[in-house]
Amino acid sequence: MYGALLEEDDIGAVEAALRRGWLGIGADVASFEAQIATTIGAVDRYPVAVNTGGAALHVAAMIAGCAPGDEVIVPSLCHLSNVQAILATGAVPVFCDVDETMCVDPDRIVELVGPHTKAIMALDYGCNICDHDLIGEIAVEHGLRVIHDAAHSFGSSSRGRSVGTFTDICMFSFDPVKCLTAVDAGVLMLRSPEEARAVREIRILGSDQPEAVMYKNARTWDYDAVRIGYRYHLSNIHGALGASQVAKLDRIRTNRQRACEAYSERLKANDQARLPASGFDSVCPFLYAIRVPSDQRDALRGYLSDAGIDTGVHWRPAHHHAFFRQFRCGPLPITERAALELISLPLHSAPMADCTIDRICELVTGFLR
The average pLDDT across 253-281 equals 95
Read off the pLDDT of residues 163-219 as tens digits, 9 standing for 90 and up: 999 999 999 999 999 999 999 999 999 999 999 999 999 999 999 999 999 999 999
What's the pLDDT score for residue 187?
99
Q: Give the pairing type, strands 186-190 and 169-173.
A: antiparallel
Determine contact, residues 201/74, Cβ cutoff 8 Å.
no
Name the nearest CA neighbour of 242 among 47, 21, 46: 47
CATH topology of domain 2-246: Aspartate Aminotransferase; domain 2 (3.40.640)
Euclidean distance between CA atoms 293 and 337, whole angstroms: 10
Please name the helix (run of DSSP H) or strand (run of DSSP E) that holds residue 343, with its range, or none.
strand 342-345
Report yes or no: 73 and 109 within 8 Å, Cβ to Cβ: yes
CA distance 13 to 252: 18
Domain residue extents for the chain: 2-246, 249-368
C-alpha gyration radius of the chain: 21
Give the mean pLDDT of 13-30.
98
- Over residues 147-167, the pLDDT tens digits come to 999 999 999 999 999 999 999
DSSP type of residue 325: G
Q: Is 260 exposed, middle or buried (0-12, 13-18, 19+ CB in 10 A)?
A: buried
User: What pLDDT is stored for residue 279 in this prediction?
Assistant: 85
Residue-level pLDDT at 334? 98
Cβ proximity of 244 and 13 under 8 Å: yes
Task: Please determine, for residue 277, whether its predicted confidence score (pLDDT) is greater than 90.
Answer: no
pLDDT in tens, 55-105: 999 999 999 999 999 999 999 999 999 999 999 999 999 999 999 999 999
Largest CA distance in the chain: 69
Pair 30, 211: CB distance under 8 Å: yes
CATH topology of domain 249-368: Aspartate Aminotransferase, domain 1 (3.90.1150)
